[in-house]
Structures are given as structure tokens and as C-alpha cells.
Structure 1
């Protein structure tokens, strides 16, 4: 939900939205947006007034396993889930209009290969950002019974 909330916004407006949001993840996302803005300014030499968020996607992360000690020397395994969020920061040109928020425009952005590559030490972008399924796609070969 937060990814859809800040997609297409200017960078300063997205940071302001996270500053006043009451959601738990908003503070972490605000800090990562500030970090992304700083790196875009110094490494890609972008103007902070023209920056906007072209894509913001949330995905599942890896699970960290921990031991759960129990009585009589037994133990269990706790799986702690993690998540990650990917941003595509873009610089608005003079005649360019920022990205809209409808699903069709976001789907067009996912198919393009013009995403900028961030050269930050310790950060490698191996996978594309996750995009939701197209809801207009017809169901081919539906099962004859319910699936629950």
C-alpha cells in the first residue's frame, strides 16, 4: 500500500508523506528515501527538485531462522520474515509529465528496459521490480471446481 501511495510523487512530497504517516514501516521507508535522494544527488548528479519516484515495489525477503528453546532440552525453529522495497528514482525533464497512478501505466513501465542502474557499493539489482498481475488477462483453462 505504501508503494502505491508514493509511486509517481516528487521525492520531497514522498518524504513528507512518510513523515506524517502513522504506519509502522513509514519511518524506515522515509530513511531509505532520504538515502536514495542523497545517493542520486552525489552519484548520478540529479537535481533534487526534479526527482520523482517512478516505481516503488514491495517484495518478500528471506526468512531468518532462530532457535526457540523449550523444556527438557528440546527446541523449535522460529522463522522471522523479512521484506524489501525497491525504488526507481527518475529525473523529470522539462517537458516530461510524472508517472500516473493507474495500473496500465505501471504495467507499461515494468516491460521497459530503460530502468537506471544504481552503482552503489554492496547493492546489486539482479531482479526486476515485482509488478502485480494484469487483471484484464483472460483465464485460460479454468478448473471445473472450487480451489479452496
Structure 2
């Protein structure tokens, strides 16, 4: 059995050992306060399980609804979801029916909370609505030519990510695919010897999928269309079998960000080398647009007046005598 002898008590009573009648208080075991209080409560018969008196706790316990006996599968008293049970059931969700189908459950939305995102500037919105109403009254509901073509013909603008190349190297590829059908442009990039042609081919395939999914282009199914031969703007002859076939109307390049890298030269010189990046943007349209442009050029050429050397017009501002 070992005794608990703190060093400070041993030093304090070291002198008592040398005396003739020494007292040995340091040999008595030390009892801690919490142990002494526990022994006191046990001897007096005090209730050890009694909770401290707190008015806030008592008030909370009074307001807390009494729960029934815990059933099998119910939440435990120590569960983190106990507060949800105390709060009670959630409000019933509104049931919304759509097109006669089974409705889906949706939470009621607060329009004031949603206005911060849907209508951040109400004054500007009111001015824009007033402007559109005035325009509709002035035009009497008639659409402009650009709006009519926008409704009748489909097109897609697709911009690629930045390729690790320069504009000088990417421009020839952009010129090569302009005016070609999308399938032909992909084949050209597949067999091109240029390094960046692989990334251009991947972007064209992505733009094709985007045009089909987002705009519904290139799906075919045009009824009553007979194949026609047209002449493009650059003078090439093209045979159109399907008016929904996709072609590349425009393609251009744009400069992107660049990184700097040291270029070590002779005699201890260091130059700064820029690693440039370039993006490619294409506009995809359907062959129906190219057919319309061909017909408009032919109509304009047919309506053009014949040039004559001496037109038949009245002579004005003429003098009655010679000017020499």
C-alpha cells in the first residue's frame, strides 16, 4: 500500500522528525474536498440526484410538453432531432397540379424574399416595360425583319476555351472551316497536320451536340424540299439536299491570357517568353439560311437596272452659249 505524500508537506514537517515527540500529520492520508463533500452528503442522507434549483430551467420544464412513453422506433431523449418533435409538425405543403397530371408538393414561397433576385431594380423594369409597350403601339404589333428571321431560322454561337496557341497559328484553321458543313469541317480537322487541330475538332463536336440539344438544329425531317444548287457568298457552288444541315457561317479567333516564362540566352541574358492562348468562336446555321441568302442575291441582281452610257434624263443647269 502506498501513501499519498505531497512533497510540500514533507518539506514543511521535515523538522518535526528530529524532535523528541514528533507529530506525524503528514502521514495521515489527504482527503480531497469533493470526496469530503460526497462523504458528508452520504452520512447526512442528502439526495445526490437532486438537480440545482434554476428558475429558467424550471420554467422551461413547465412549458415543455409531456411526452408519452417512448414507442419502438421513436427518437431517443438524447437525439439531436428532439427539438423538431417538440416544435410540432411542419405546415402542410401546397399541392400544385400541372396539365392534369399528378401534382407535386412545393413549399410556399415568399415573394418579398424572392424579389431580391428576380426583381432587383423595379424602377428600371418599369421603364423597360413602358418602352416595350410604346414600341408595340407604334409598330402596331408588326415584327421587324431581324425579329422575323430570328423566329424562322435557327443559329448558335459557341465559344471555346483558351487553346495553348497563338492567334497567328489558329487563324488559318478558322479560315479553313468557314463556309463548310459541320461534318466536312470535322473531317478536315481530323486529318490536319496542325497541333491545335485536335482541340478545334473537339470544340466543333461539342458545338454540334449543343446545337442539336439547345436549338434543335440538324434533325432533318424537312418535307417537300427538292435539292437545289446554290452559290455561296465567296463564289463556291454547293448542292443542298437537306435544309436543316448545319454549316459554319462565321469563325474567328480571340486573344486570351498568357503566362510568362524566362528564356535564357547567351552571355547571361534572360528574355521573357510569353506563352499565349487563343479562343475560337463559331456561328452555326442551317442550310435554309444559305438558300435564302442565295435567293436574295439573285433577286437583287435580277432587279438591277441595266447601265447605259447616256441615261435618258432631262438636262439641267445648262447654259445657252458655249463656255469657251
TM-score under structure 1 length normalisation:
0.54
For residues 52-78 of structure 1, the C-alpha deviation after alignment (integer angstroms, 9 at most, x for no partner) is 000111222121346x5x9xxxxx976
Runs of 4+ in structure 1 deviating by more than 4 angstroms, as ranges, are none
By relative contact order (CA 8 Å, sep 6+), the higher-ranking structure is: 1
Shift of 1:16: 0.5
Quick one: structure 1 residues 7 and 95, their matched pair in 2 at CA, closer, same or farther if it must change by over 3 Å? closer
C-alpha RMSD over aligned residues: 2.8
Counterpart CA distance in 2 for 1:14 and 1:98 is 21
Q: Match of 1:89?
A: 284
Counterpart CA distance in 2 for 1:89 and 1:79 is 32
Counterpart CA distance in 2 for 1:77 and 1:84 is 23
Q: Match of 2:188?
A: 17
For residues 17-54 of structure 1, the C-alpha deviation after alignment (integer angstroms, 9 at most, x for no partner) is 10111111110000000000000000111016610000
Counterpart CA distance in 2 for 1:8 and 1:89 is 10
Q: Match of 1:59?
A: 254
Equivalences, count: 94
**Structure 2 residue 203 is the aligned partner of structure 1 residue 32:** yes
For residues 101-145 of structure 1, the C-alpha deviation after alignment (integer angstroms, 9 at most, x for no partner) is xxxxxxxxxxxxxxxxxxxxxxxxxxxxxxxxxxxxxxxxxxxxx
Please, which runs of 5 or more residues in structure 2 have no aligned partner? 1-171, 220-243, 265-270, 295-324
> 1:111-130 counterparts in 2 under 5 A?
none
Secondary structure in 1 aligned to 2:285? strand
Contact map agreement 1:52 1:98 (CA 8 A) in 2: no
Please, which runs of 5 or more residues in structure 1 have no aligned partner? 71-75, 100-148
Counterpart CA distance in 2 for 1:98 and 1:19 is 30
Q: Match of 1:7?
A: 178
Counterpart CA distance in 2 for 1:11 and 1:97 is 19
Q: Match of 1:115?
A: none
The structure with the largest helix share of the pair is: 2
Shift of 1:80: 2.2
The structure with the largest strand share of the pair is: 1
